[in-house]
Amino acid sequence: MADDVTDDTPALRIVPAADAPFTDVEQVFGTKGDAAHCWCQWFMIEARDWRAVGDEGLRQRLEGQLAEPGPGRGLLAYDGDEPVGWCAVEPRRDLPRLRRSRAVVSGTTHPDFDDETVWAVSCFVIPRAHRGRGIGRALARAAIGFAREHGATTLEAYAVDPSARSKPSAEELFHGTVSMFADAGFAEVARTTTSRVVMEHRLAGRA
């Protein structure tokens, strides 16, 4: 889950998760709660196949994805030597469920889902003990440089606006909040419901 309110962002070390020991990724995702039952695979697996994979299968999928050649699927934040947060950032074309998300399809300004230069920030995981310290905000800012370094010209996010409803679900908050992305320089491009917002950060190379 992403954290949203802080006045004192900690000094963090943020690295590509592919360069970190997978045991550190496991420490962030934990063994209980939503993250431990998803392993950032929700947008990677078709709905008809989801239940058949199981928690261990999901964990193994993420471990395998981070071991593949290339930049990897996301970033890991450290406070000293302790892993304290995860952010999924990768080419949007690699997330097949986004193609069938009404919120994304109706809100994006880049409807070509095969465009490899459009990247997406789809998920944050901050262990409960570390929330409220600005780690999600720091990861959102780091995602911009990571995407740009690997050829992205647009970085999309699918944020929730907590002020638009009384109590956003935990599932929604994993996507990050409007204020978090706005602080990182993202702009709102569409409000597909009262509380769900497509945001983007234009990077070099796209008018």
d(CA 146, CA 26): 21
Phi, psi of 15 (to 5 degrees): -130, 155
pLDDT value of position 5: 37
Domains and CATH numbers, the chain: 75-202 (3.40.630.30)
User: What does the pLDDT profile of the chain (207 residues) look like in tens digits?
Assistant: 555 434 345 589 999 999 999 999 999 999 999 999 999 999 999 888 888 999 999 999 999 999 999 888 999 999 999 999 999 999 999 999 999 999 899 999 999 999 999 999 999 999 999 999 999 999 999 999 999 999 999 999 999 998 887 676 666 789 999 999 999 999 999 998 888 999 999 997 554
pLDDT value of position 163: 87
d(CA 109, CA 1): 26
H or E element in which residue 152 lies: none
Residues in the chain, overall count: 207
pLDDT value of position 113: 97
